[in-house]
Amino acid sequence: MAGRKVVLVTGGGRGIGAAVVRLAAAAGWDVAFTYASNSTRAEETAAAARAAGAEVLAIQADVADAASTASAFAAVDQRFGRLDALVNNAGITGPRGTLAETPDAVWEKVLATNVTGAARCCREALKRIPAGGAIVNVSSRAAGLGGGGEWIHYAASKGAMDTLTIGLAKEAAAQGVRVNAVSPGLIDTELHAAAGMPDRVAKFGGSVPLGRGGTAEEVAEGVLWLLTDAARYVTGANIHVSGGR
Ligand code: NAP
């Protein structure tokens, strides 16, 4: 299909998702993105993407909720009439805590958001994305590191996302759609403060092999590459954007 391509980014109001929205707009995509509740930040991100020449649709939608997700996809259909790519970026860590300290309710919320929510978005996206399109799942190096002492619930959810990526890459190849993951390491966003560790990047940045925490833009560069034709022979891959962590 000719014309500007459309990408849907979940959790695009702030942080890594917002960097993907801005970079995609600058690279010539039209962009739809969801956010949970922070409409001020979502509007700032939308304005930046519009200034880069993109048509932009910001949608308040809870990725953990089936009806809300269905409405978000319907809004994309109505506004753009096409969808070429999905970036499954919305994710939460839940509060910091050991396994012993973490109740079922935290596990359920984290898994509903990071795993079921992402899988549901993949299912909806694959009804729409034509051959040549792509899905990128924003996972985490926590999946490989395990999150012990901090958030096993979060790490395990990202392990599930990694498996989703491998399996779905095989299924979606039949329709010509590539499915890959990007696994960020320690990235300077508000996610750490939300988990009760505002100084986490400053505290642990020095222990990263490349000597520092990363930026949302550095992760977004990896996501954008996977969306483009330059990555046309890449599927089922998991790119660590983690400074060696
Ligand atoms: P962030 O700064 O906390 O931003 C999260 C974004 O997702 C916000 O726009 C938020 O909306 C949205 N969101 C949260 N829950 C949502 C829900 N239920 N439905 C829809 N949107 C929702 O997080 P980030 O650091 O950019 O993280 C983005 C992704 O990267 C996540 O999947 C995270 O696990 C992954 N990651 C991050 C790091 C890191 O060090 N930062 C490392 C590895 C992986 P509001 O603005 O409305 O709240």
Instruction: Retrieve residue 152's tokens.
Output: 């096993």
Tokens of 58: 């910001």
**Structure confidence at residue 244 (pLDDT):** 98
Query: Rounded to 5 degrees, what are φ and ψ at 241?
Result: -110, 85
Residue 187 alpha carbon, nearest atom of ligand 1? 40
Angle formed by the axes of helices 216-227 and 15-26, to 10°?
50
> In the prediction, which pLDDT does 95 show?
96
The ligand 1 site (C-beta within 6 Å) comprises: 10-11, 13-17, 34-38, 41, 61-64, 89-92, 113, 138, 140, 184, 186-187, 189-191, 194
pLDDT in tens, 92-128: 999 999 999 999 999 999 999 999 999 999 999 999 9
Mean pLDDT of 74-97: 98
Domain ranges of the chain: 6-241
The fold for domain 6-241 equals Rossmann fold (3.40.50)
Q: Is the pLDDT of residue 137 over 90?
A: yes
Q: Which residue has the tokens 């899988």?
A: 119
Tokens 């300290």 appear where?
Answer: 101
Mean per-residue pLDDT, 55-82: 98
pLDDT at 155: 98
> Are the C-beta atoms of residues 181 and 139 closer than 8 Å to each other?
yes
Atom of ligand 1 nearest to the CA of 158: 34
Half-sphere exposure of residue 182: CA atoms within 13 angstroms, side-chain side:
28
Which one-letter amino acid corresponds to residue 89?
N
Pairing relationship of beta strands 134-138 and 85-88 according to DSSP bridges: parallel
Confidence of residue 1 (pLDDT cuts 50, 70, 90): confident
Closest Cα to atom 31 of ligand 1 = 91
Q: Whose CA is nearest to atom 3 of ligand 1?
A: 191
pLDDT of 2 reads: 81
**Amino acid 114: pLDDT:** 98
Provide mean pLDDT across the span 140-153. Answer: 98
Ligand 1 centroid from CA 113, angstroms: 10
How far is it, in rounded angstroms, from Cα 179 to Cα 227?
9
Pairing assessment for the beta strands 178-184 and 238-241 based on DSSP bridges: parallel
* Residue 2 CA to ligand 1 centre (angstroms): 32
Q: Which helix (H) or strand (E) holds 200?
A: helix 200-204
Q: What does the alpha-carbon distance between residue 86 and residue 229 come to, in Å, rounded to a whole number?
A: 15
Tens of pLDDT, residue by residue over 197-216, are 999 999 999 999 999 999 99
Per-residue b/e over 51-80, b at no fewer than 16 CB within 10 Å?
ebebebbbbebbbbeeebbeebbebbeeeb
Of all protein residues, whose CA lies closest to atom 23 belonging to ligand 1?
A: 191
Q: Which of 150, 154, 155, 242 is catalytic?
A: 154
pLDDT digits (tens, 9 = 90+) for 6-19: 999 999 999 999 99
Work out the pLDDT band at 142, boundaries 50, 70, 90: very high
* pLDDT for res 199: 94
Q: How confident is the model at residue 46 (pLDDT cuts 50, 70, 90)?
A: very high
Query: How many Å apart are CA 152 and CA 96, to the nearest integer?
Result: 9
pLDDT tens-digit profile of 166-181? 999 999 999 999 999 9
SS3 category, 26: helix
